[in-house]
Amino acid sequence: MIITRKDIAGKIITYLQHQISLTELVDWAESMMMEADFEPQDYETLRDIVSRLGVADVKAFGMTWEDCEQFLFRLGYEAHVIVKESTSMAAA
């Protein structure tokens, strides 16, 4: 299996959208480090980001919104936040 920029960005995005947990993101990254190959033209960047995701659950490393934003930027994506009033709070 060859991992691409799009694959990694997609996984980070699903994490930021709360579709997967940090544990699931870390497990995926650890698995990719052991089993997958990275696109040769982006090898260093992809390996660096995936290895960092693999330790995101370790307190000494952690992972902030800014880290995710920077990872996405390095993968060729821009992160934007949309904040809107919650429908559950609007009724209160």
Query: Structure tokens of 26?
Result: 């870390």
Does residue 90 surpass a pLDDT of 80?
A: no
Range of the domain at 80: 2-90
How many CA within 13 A on the CB side of residue 17? 9
Q: What is the pTM of this model?
A: 0.87
Show the 3-state SS of 21-78: CHHHHHHHHHHHHHHCEECHHHHHHHHHHHHHHCCCCCCCCCCCHHHHHHHHHHCCCC
Banded model confidence at residue 87, pLDDT cuts 50, 70, 90: confident
- Neighbour count for residue 67 (Cβ, 10 Å): 16
pLDDT, tens digit (0-9, with 9 covering 90-100), for 17-67: 999 999 999 999 999 999 999 999 999 999 999 999 999 998 888 899 999
Instruction: Count the domains in the chain.
Output: 1
